[in-house]
């Protein structure tokens, strides 16, 4: 499953970081557990190896029905989860699906080029708009619905972008602290606990 058979006669100390992570996953799976705990399984790995490790993790969940609890401070990994728990200063402060967490903290923002014509057109559609330098920020509950209005409303679509709340936005909103990098820092105090479970 983790494609290490050809290295079966090698000493583990000679393995790369990614190979060691794959071996750890295989070792944890030897007794076919129903629940598997993984502590930052991709920490310190290059993007390609992280992607491979996540293929194995998804395989455990989808093909073998394993419930996975894992910790990570990579927010894109947390997005993979069915439920996310945020721990701050040793206490669980929020548990929900990634989508519900993001919905709770904010609305979508449509970013448009700033011009008098654009501002008038957006306001005529009944949408809230704020000037921010050379951009217009349109705050909406549903970017899909608002974009349909904008497309029909004579608004210039040059430099259009949609920004949705992210899990990092959620984390900062709930803790008041930015997510630390791999070198440590606030991660000794602040850690995201992410739970993946099989969808039934």
- Chain centroid to CA 166: how far? 7
Query: Does some domain include residue 152?
Result: yes
Whole-number pLDDT of residue 56: 86
| One domain for residues 66 and 121 | no
Range of the domain at 23: 5-101+175-196
What is the torsion angle, in degrees rounded to the nearest 10, for the CA atoms of residue 180, residue 73, residue 193 and residue 29?
-140
Residues 179 and 122 in one domain: no
Beta bridge partners of 111: 137, 161
CATH code of the domain covering residue 95: 3.40.50.300
What confidence score (pLDDT) does residue 9 get? 94
* Residue owning tokens 């803790």: 175
- Based on the fold, state whether residues 79 and 20 are members of the same structural domain: yes
User: DSSP readout, 163-195?
Assistant: E---HHHHHHHHHS-PPP-TT-GGGGTEEEEEE
CATH label of the domain that carries residue 136:
3.30.70.260
pTM: 0.63
194 Cβ contact partners less than 8 Å away, ≥ 6 residues apart:
69, 70, 71, 72, 77, 78, 81, 84, 85
Same domain, yes or no, for 111 and 94? no
Q: What pLDDT was estimated at residue 179?
A: 56
- DSSP β-bridge partners for residue 140: 108
Distance CA 174, CA 162 (A): 23
Ordered per-residue pLDDT tens for the chain, 200 residues: 788 999 999 999 999 988 998 898 888 888 889 999 989 988 888 888 888 888 888 888 899 899 999 998 888 888 889 999 998 888 999 999 998 998 887 778 888 887 767 888 888 888 888 888 888 888 888 788 888 888 887 787 777 888 888 888 888 888 876 555 444 443 333 333 344 444 33
Do the beta carbons of residue 157 and residue 111 sit within 8 Å? no
What separation, in Å, do the N-terminal and C-terminal C-alpha atoms of the chain show?
24
């Amino acid at each position: 499953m983790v494609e290490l058979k050809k290295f079966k006669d090698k000493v583990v100390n000679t393995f790369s970081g990614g190979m060691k992570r794959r071996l750890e996953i295989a070792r944890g799976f030897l007794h076919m557990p129903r629940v598997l705990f993984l502590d930052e399984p991709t920490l310190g790995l290059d993007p390609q190896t992280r992607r491979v490790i996540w293929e194995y993790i998804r395989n455990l969940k989808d093909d073998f029905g394993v419930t996975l609890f894992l910790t990570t401070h990579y927010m894109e990994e947390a997005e993979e989860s069915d439920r996310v728990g945020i721990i701050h200063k040793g206490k669980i402060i929020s548990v929900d699906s990634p989508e519900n967490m993001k919905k709770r903290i904010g609305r979508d923002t449509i970013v448009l080029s700033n011009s008098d014509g654009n501002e008038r057109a957006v306001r005529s559609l009944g949408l809230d708009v704020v000037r921010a330098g050379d951009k217009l920020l349109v705050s909406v509950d549903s970017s899909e619905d608002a974009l349909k209005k904008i497309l029909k409303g004579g608004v210039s679509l040059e430099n259009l972008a949609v920004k949705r709340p992210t899990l990092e936005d959620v984390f900062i909103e709930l803790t008041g602290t930015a997510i630390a990098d791999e070198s440590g820092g606030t991660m000794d105090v602040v850690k995201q606990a992410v739970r993946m479970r099989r969808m039934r």
